[in-house]
Amino acid sequence: MKSILITGCSSGFGLETAKYFLERGWRVIATMRTPDDNVIPPTSNLQLLKLDVADQSSIAQAIADAGDIDVLVNNAGIGWLNALEGTPIDIIRRIFETNTFGTMAMIQAVLPQFRARKSGTIINVTSTVTLRPLPLLSVYTASKAAVNAFTESFALELEPFNIKVKLVLPGLAPETRFGENARALSPGALEFPEPYAPLGQAVIAGLMGAHEEFTRPLDVAEAIWRAATDDAVPTRLPAGADAVTWSKQV
């Protein structure tokens, strides 16, 4: 039985991906900062672990408890929407600690077992906001674009060890907790500095409006499944109708 460890499974992409792989007979290690048995119905193939990707000791404990895994999915992340001028530097550091450094730390933690077996797959979930500039997303985009860049570079380091590396890029996902997670990071997450208020209101109106194309959590789960099970898929895999459209325009 193959096994997969997924970060950020309390909601959204991570939760849907955990369910998707469970339904297909995989052993799933679903990790959350605060594990909740009510989020995913317990099954014999499910292992629920506490994990904070910004805490090195938490990472070490989770990897030790998980045992051997075949696939690592770095999905945990923090959303943020504000002008650079309206984003305190400590918030920027926290976003990078989770979205960027947390991803790197998780990869470092699993590489020894992958190298020893000369097999394994690493899937990093980023975003199609990295494909074109968008207002008020500079910090979030930077944290995800950094993951894109280092993923494609360190993938070359892992070729001699037969370790596969993939990127999954979702689009706009109104069913996820992007805004809620941002507010949890800072109460002023969506409170724009006065000079940027008109722009902020316009951007939010656009995000909350009707969209012909968008990304569902299931789209991301299906893309991760393809990345985990089909070696022929490209390194960058858009997830969601809008993501596919954006990727064709780059």
When pLDDT is averaged across residues 10-37 and rounded to a whole number, the result is: 96
Sorted by where each begins, the domain ranges of the chain are 3-243
Interval 195-212: pLDDT, tens: 999 998 898 888 776 677
Minimum mean pLDDT range among 29-33, 90-94, 185-189, 234-238: 185-189
The per-residue pLDDT for 184 is: 58
Q: Would you say residue 5 has pLDDT above 60?
A: yes
Q: Would you say residue 135 has pLDDT above 80?
A: yes
Q: Count of CB atoms within 10 A of residue 244's CB? A: 18
When pLDDT is averaged across residues 52-64 and rounded to a whole number, the result is: 98
Kind and range of the H or E element at 166? strand 164-170
When pLDDT is averaged across residues 79-104 and rounded to a whole number, the result is: 96
CATH 3.40.50.720 fits 3-243, yes or no: yes
Active site residue 196: no
Kind and range of the H or E element at 226? helix 217-229
Active-site choice (20, 80, 114, 140): 140
The per-residue pLDDT for 207 is: 77
Interval 166-196: pLDDT, tens: 999 999 888 776 656 655 555 566 789 999 9
The per-residue pLDDT for 185 is: 58
In the numeric block, the tokens 């954006």 are attached to: 246
* Mean pLDDT estimate for the chain: 92
Residues 18 and 21: their CA atoms lie apart, in Å, by 5
Binned at pLDDT 50, 70 and 90, residue 235 comes out as: very high
Phi, psi of 62 (to 5 degrees): -65, -40
The per-residue pLDDT for 180 is: 60
Q: pTM to 2 decimals?
A: 0.94
Q: Are 53 and 76 in contact (CB under 8 A)?
A: yes
In the numeric block, the tokens 């959590």 are attached to: 217
Q: Would you say residue 224 has pLDDT above 90?
A: yes
Three-state DSSP at 123 gives strand
